[in-house]
Amino acid sequence: MTLPDHLILNFHIKFREEAKLQKHLYSSFRGAFGHALKQVSCLYLTGECRNCIQKKECDYNYIFETPVSEDTDFYQAGEYASHPYVLVPPLADLNSFSITLFGRGVSKWKTVVRAVQRMGPLGIGSSREKFRLCSVISSETEIWNADTPGYFDIPAKSPYNLLEYGPEIKVSFFSPAQIRVNKKFIREPAFHDILRLIIRRLKSINYWHIDEAAQFEAAPYLEKAKPVKTLRSNTRWLTIPRYSNRQETKMKVKAMVGSMDYKGDFSRFSELLAFAQVAHIGKKTAFGFGKILIE
């Protein structure tokens, strides 16, 4: 099994004291990141990306509008391939958020830092609340500081936290998750449903963002997951308002939050569970959805 290299960038920011931000920042933060990323990457800001002669070399196109190859035989739902990043907006602490890069995306970390610098003056949400980027931390090492010009060091790639689990685990959804099974969103996933999503996400990131990525056979893992039983469900639906700049309309997104407890043999799933806690699961992971903690 090949786990993709990844790099977690923790951004420490400062909003003005009277800043008024909506409760759920998933859509607004991702939208602001996209606008800023395009401004620091694009040579032709007024043109269409799909017709641009530079799109194969463009960091914005690769990171934010990750193209699907015309000659691919890998199934990919939607217009874009899996993105090489996960953005987790401010949750409990409004003065910090993170972006995790995967595979070839790790090499784009300076572009991402420049984009976050640009996000500050552009502002967040409908009221365009501005912030100042103070510092960037990776693996407990400061790699950028507003008071010191330039970058300190090339950050080391972040490690996966491989753990051995006992006969019972709790999967906590720290951000809303959209888990779809048989074309329906569900609120109480079985463990094998979660494992199927983890494997699909791993295969997708490996295929699109690692050169000659080794694939693996999913069937033995899914078969091993079938006997795992659900012990408790403590989940609920959450409806999150968002505005789509692409569609120019307000919409509501339905997702689950809470936790699930399972009982079984988890000895074979250590790498997959470690990966899931970094890469998230389900739909809208680029917004920050599907962040889980397993204990």
Check: CB of residue 252 under 8 Å from CB of residue 205.
no
Q: Which domains are delineated in the chain?
A: 6-151 (3.30.70), 168-294 (3.30.70.1900)
How does 120-152 read in b/e, with b if 16+ C-beta sit within 10 Å? Answer: bebbbbeeebebebbbbbbeeeebbbeeeeeee
The pLDDT tens digits for 220-269 are: 999 999 999 999 999 999 998 776 666 667 778 899 999 999 999 999 99
Q: How far is CA 116 from the centre of its chain?
A: 16
Is the confidence at residue 287, as pLDDT, over 60?
Answer: yes
pTM of the model: 0.92
Count of residues for the chain? 295
The pLDDT tens digits for 69-127 are: 766 666 556 678 899 999 999 887 889 999 999 999 999 999 999 999 999 999 887 78
